[in-house]
Amino acid sequence: MLAAALGKELDCKVEVQVVEDYAAEVLSMRNGKLDIGQFGPMGFVFASTKANAEPLVSFGTADGKLSSYTAGIWVPKDSAIKAIDDLRGKDLALGSVGSTSGDVLPRFGLKNAGIAEDELNMNYAGGHPEALLALTKGTVDAAQINSQTLASAIDSGNFDPAGFRQVWKSEAIPNDPITVSADADPAFKAAVKDALLNLAPADIEAVGKFLDVTPAGPLIEVTKETYNPLFDLAETMGLTEKDI
């Protein structure tokens, strides 16, 4: 729906590409095969440095503020794990490699707690829903569940938070930026930005719900500086393009 609405504003057809991971999306933009890209916050860091991606807008709340989300680590309610310090020697399900909330931030939380990654058994489940499923099925001791996945799972009846407990939560993360190449024609960039800012909340609703922005408001203008904490995080964690 968002692509169709954007196409209507630009008076052209907007084709949607679904890539396997952020690395593939970065490569597409770098090779000039992607005009507009929505990246996760950490994906944007490398899209900026490797493909010169320029953020235009992100998702706004109904009261006109930039939306955000959090990473979290959850355990069963009756677990002996009471805090992140108790994860030593335990099985932790992460989402997928390079995910901001499903990989980098939980690992950052462990680092801040002084827990070396070889002190526990970390497994990548393949995505946010898969990590949540591993927890609910009891195949792991703990799992990352971000606030977006949590809201969606509760709404669909796939997760009852009464049976689980959050033992760690990250600082708020600004939501996904929609970007263009900084090398694109200035007129094109201006037209895309104006079109995105003019979209009605109803046009954004479906994507907004996926990002736990409900009810969705208009898209909000953002800049590279909005995501400075993610650039700092990538440096702190020693991440490279290979990590996404």
The CA-CA-CA angle for residues 99, 195, 176, to 5°, reads 10
Give how far Cα 167 sits from Cα of 40, 72, 123, 141, Å. Answer: 24, 8, 18, 12
pLDDT at 14: 86
pTM above 0.85, yes or no: yes
pLDDT band at 53 (very low <50, low <70, confident <90, very high): very high
Please name the residue that has the structure tokens 């489940």. Answer: 125
Each residue's pLDDT tens digit, 117-169:
999 999 999 999 999 999 999 999 999 999 999 999 999 999 999 999 999 99
Q: What is the distance between the alpha carbons of residues 179 and 38, in angstroms, rounded to a whole number?
A: 6
Which H helix or E strand runs over 235? helix 228-236
